Amino acid sequence: MNVVVCVKQIPDPAAPQSFDAQYNLDRSGKLILDEADTYGVEMALQLVDKAGSGEVSVVSMGSANDLAGLRNALAMGAAKAVIVSDDALRGTDALGTAKVLAAVIKRDLPDLILCATESSDGYTGTTPVQLAELLGLPSITFAKSVSVEGSTVKVNRQTEAGYDEVTAPLPCVVTVTAGVVEPRYASFKGIMAAKSKPVEILSVADLGLGDETGTKGAREEITAVVAAESRQAGEKYVDEGDGAEKIVAFLESIKVL
């Protein structure tokens, strides 16, 4: 079974972030594998391992100045990586990103495509379902567990009340939550092996794409970036014998109870 995992390389969240005049996040510095995507990589590795044959590939769009994020996925056990990196992609929005990822993936359609539910830096959460639509495949979102039986994928899909059991025929696009599996740490052997695994760097022209990507194709525009509101200090209750009642009243007021 062959699985493709869409992974995003993001600026290190621990480093200070900056934006250009169009409010695009500066991605020229150190890039890391989005932690949200480590769950997809781990899930894919476990599924291929269980199937007994096949491989995991990772596909990305973004800057190829730093490939550390992709090398991390390869060190975990993915066999190869493809990244589409091109100045013409500047300003590509989420749908344009899905078009680029679809163009790569349809060159050699895998059995299963995994994405995270949402990325950590942009998190529109729209790319994976757009990708499925462009590939003409079914999609299942918010997977808390994934298994494959024959040509069917079975997913426990997280809901507010619990989970739904959903099945779909392969090939299929599935988005996984952070609870789906525990990502492994890359071993020293894996890190050394990753250095010689193939990383293909493609341009927009290599994929036969043009104005549907980049600023020309974008239907989204970032009009402002504002700092998130700082959290208000919580309300303190001093227990004068009625502490429990006060807490229950508060929980009832926010409809938790």
Ligand X SMILES: Cc1cc2nc3c(=O)[nH]c(=O)nc-3n(C[C@H](O)[C@H](O)[C@H](O)COP(=O)(O)OP(=O)(O)OC[C@H]3O[C@@H](n4cnc5c(N)ncnc54)[C@H](O)[C@@H]3O)c2cc1C
Note the residues at the interface with ligand X (CB under 6 A). Answer: 6-8, 24, 34, 36-37, 60-62, 89-94, 97, 101, 115-116, 118-119, 121-128, 218, 220-222
Residue 191 has phi, psi (to 5 degrees) of -65, -40
Cβ-based nearer residue to ligand X, 221 or 252: 221
Q: Which is nearer to ligand X, 46 or 92 (CB)?
A: 92
Residue (25 or 246) nearer to ligand X, CB: 25
CB-CB contact of 26 with 78 (8 Å):
no
Rounded to the nearest whole angstrom, what is the least distance from the CB of residue 174 to ligand X in the complex? Answer: 11
Name the residue whose CB lies closest to ligand X.
Answer: 122
Q: How far is CA 247 from the centre of its chain?
A: 38
Q: Cβ of residue 237: shortest distance to ligand X, in angstroms?
A: 38
Q: Based on CB atoms, which residue is closest to ligand X, 123 or 250?
A: 123
Nearer to ligand X, 61 or 155 (CB): 61
**Shortest gap between Cβ of 247 and ligand X (angstroms)?**
36
Which pair of tokens denotes residue 138? 């079914």
CB of 25 to ligand X, least distance (A): 7
Cα dihedral 221, 86, 227, 8 sign: positive
Which residues, 6 or more positions from 71, have their beta carbon under 8 angstroms from its beta carbon?
191, 194, 195, 199
Q: How far is the CB of 154 from ligand X (least distance, A)?
A: 20
Q: Which residues pair with 148 in a beta bridge?
A: 153
Name which of 120 and 246 has its Cβ closer to ligand X. 120
Q: How far is the CB of 13 from ligand X (least distance, A)?
A: 13
Q: Closest separation between CB of residue 210 and ligand X, Å?
A: 16
Q: Which is nearer to ligand X, 138 or 237 (CB)?
A: 138
